[in-house]
Amino acid sequence: KTIRPGAIGTRSVTPADIDNDGDLDVVFASSASIERVFNETIHRSASFPIRHTVDPDFDGARSVYAADMDSDGDVDLLGAATNPGSIAWWENDGTTQVANWTEHVVDDDYMTAVSVHAADINCDGKMDILGASRGDSKVTWWENDGTNNASNWTEHSTTLVFPKSVSAADMDSDGDIDILATSDDNNQVLWFENDGADNLSNWTKHTVDSMFMGASSVYAADIDGDGKTDLIGSAFDGDLIAMWRNDGTNNVGNWTEHTIDASVDGPSSVHAADVDGDSDLDVIASINRDSDVVWWENTRNLSNWPKHTVDDFFGGTTSVYGSDMDCDGDVDIVAAGGIEDAIHWWENDGNLISPTWTEHAVEDSIDNPRSIHVSDMDGDGDMDVLGAASADDDITWWENRGGQFALMTEDLVSFATAVAGTSGVAVLGVTATHRGRVGDSPSELTSLELLLEDDEGEALSAFHANILISSIRVYLDNNSGAFEAGSDSLVTTLEDLSSGTQTITFDDGDPLARIPVSGERYYFVVLDLDSKAYPSVWPDFRITHLTESTSKAEDFENDNPLQLEYTPNVISSTFEIVQQVDFALSHTESVDPVQAGSGLGNLVYQIDVTNHGPSSANTVSGQIALTLPEGATVESISDGVLLQGSNAVPSIIWSIGSLSVDATETTTIAITVDSSAQAGTDVIGFTASASTLNGTVINPDDDETSEFT
């Protein structure tokens, strides 16, 4: 796709998110100028409908992290468990089929493991693993030897009484990774200086704070923007959120502590991210006993941290993380609630002055989640959510399947049968929603994918589909919420059906298919049932809207394809197509009275049957009972067979066959009345009716005719 035609003498091109809207723009330099081209892509949602449980038996799962442990380009998953204690990682095979992921146990005797992390500690290009063991009172890193046999990885440990957390960062700006830890029982925040040797016990320990009561977490980031890595931490028992400013020396006793908030009850976790989009890092925390999710605004005055509460009723918050979950350029917040038994995320509206938040569930049924992390587990460019649940004993990740548009579908089939030949049978309702934001262009539907199948899930062949259904139509609702063929707007029609999946296409630029920015429209999927459909072809069937991936939309202005937000495929209820026919019989007679002996076939009856019903009739037969005195005989019958009935009363079986809607079939009976017949009134005659094996006869008032001569 051409971004800028006529860019003569272009020398350099660089992608960057210049307008902070979550998508990449382009800057290029030509011989004449430096230009920016803004990417006006429609923004998208975040949604986490698919839960992947990597390990359901990781006893006492306590901590989770993600990193590419085997250097194969995809993100693997790490975990720590407390009962009795284990550190492991699960090898991502490049698919979301987590049952195929391989578990690699690093240490299954690492008592009461409470924290896990990954970093390249020895600068050999491979990710090593860090852990914290309360039962063994130690902090450890395991040296990745480049094989996946993690049980052979070399362990390097140092003593730390009752560590609570472990992580890593380059604290002294010397190019290698140091190790950070907290000890809640010893009330310590500290880091171990990587001296380039493997023996962790010889690394210099720097205690940043030894009176940080119940130190529950620490996070490393450049908070003051001076290029050096500072620390923020939470003191669970001290009810304190604090920052330590790195002065560029390793004499951490000289590092200045800044109180961010001393009035929080039981802070459990901290993180840093630019929440308000002003290019500095703000502080995010989960407050366990307050059940709060909070962020503090970095004003660049380290003594002034305005507090902003995102949620004040999220029970027993245990872990928090800030990341752009919906790819719109601002930082959203994810948190776990141990009492809430839930993981939620809060959507940032992008207001730089005072962001407002919309709460969304990631998972509302997880027993005591203790740790969360955010990473792109499936390599599709958006952030997924990871969690460790200690009571569920599982390590899980939730796949982000948000999109730029959504097609929420509902089953409208509330009937068990539908009559062949009926038009306008509404089977599905589809709410098409624009998931972008103000400033985006509208979207438009390009296709819906529908699957026709029987009640056992076997796809209908093209032959059967076209016998049952004459057309599939899509209507735009007139805002009544009920299908009304006379007032809803017809958008598109499909008449020639294929096997299985039907692709319903929309005209490019059709205003009826356009979805307004941040708006929605409701559509009906409607079937016109073929009048020739009959139960023996396919008695029961259903229709499925393939919403998981295949229905499509595009940017209305640029025709760029859009990503569909995941929703499960919606299957209509099964229903049966039945026939309803309405036989109308009529007749004429050639003469009345008839003169005996006037010749062969001197009395002729013509009988007509017409189908006025909505459905075609199949296997139709007529029954004609005759009254013939002596001297009167049947000379000829068209399309019929003369039978000898009881009491010597003859009858005729009239083989009509199929009778389509409004079609008429005729039979003629010629009777010869010879000279021996006795004169009389109404002594010769017939009574005729019709029936079908495949359908219900309605309106019986005129389904019989008779005549006597």
The pLDDT mean for the chain works out to 92
Cα distances (Å, whole numbers) of residue 160 to 79, 117, 199: 20, 16, 15
Q: Is the pLDDT of residue 18 over 80?
A: no
pTM for the predicted model, two decimal places: 0.84
Q: Is the pLDDT of residue 681 over 50?
A: yes
Q: For tokens 């918050």, what's the residue?
A: 317
Q: What is the pLDDT of residue 5?
A: 60
Class of domain 405-578: mainly beta
Q: Is the pLDDT of residue 74 over 50?
A: yes
Class of domain 50-399: mainly beta
Q: Is the pLDDT of residue 604 over 50?
A: yes
Q: Is the pLDDT of residue 37 over 50?
A: no
The mean pLDDT of 703-709, rounded to a whole number, is 91
- Locate the domains of the chain by residue range: 1-39, 50-399, 405-578, 581-708
The 10 Å Cβ neighbour count of residue 180 is 27
Q: What is the pLDDT of residues 531-560, one digit of tens each?
A: 887 666 566 889 999 998 789 999 998 899
Question: What does the alpha-carbon distance between residue 690 and residue 609 come to, in Å, rounded to a whole number?
Answer: 8
| Domain at 581-708: CATH architecture | Sandwich (2.60)
Question: What does the alpha-carbon distance between residue 133 and residue 80 come to, in Å, rounded to a whole number?
Answer: 9
Question: What does the alpha-carbon distance between residue 186 and residue 422 come to, in Å, rounded to a whole number?
Answer: 78
**Beta-carbon-side half-sphere exposure of residue 65 (alpha carbons within 13 Å):** 26
Q: What is the pLDDT of residue 148?
A: 85
Q: What is the pLDDT of residues 345-404, one digit of tens each?
A: 999 998 888 899 999 999 999 999 999 999 999 999 999 999 999 999 999 999 999 999
Q: What is the pLDDT of residue 648?
A: 56
Least confident of 115-129, 351-365, 469-483, 523-537: 523-537
* Token reading at 60: 């006492």
Q: Are 408 and 45 in contact (CB under 8 A)?
A: no
Question: What does the alpha-carbon distance between residue 337 and residue 333 come to, in Å, rounded to a whole number?
Answer: 13
Q: What is the pLDDT of residue 254?
A: 80
At 507, the amino acid letter reads D
Asked if the domains at 405-578 and 581-708 fall in one CATH topology, the answer is yes
According to DSSP, residue 290 is labeled: T
Q: What is the pLDDT of residues 479-490, one digit of tens each?
A: 999 999 999 999
* Token reading at 159: 């003593």
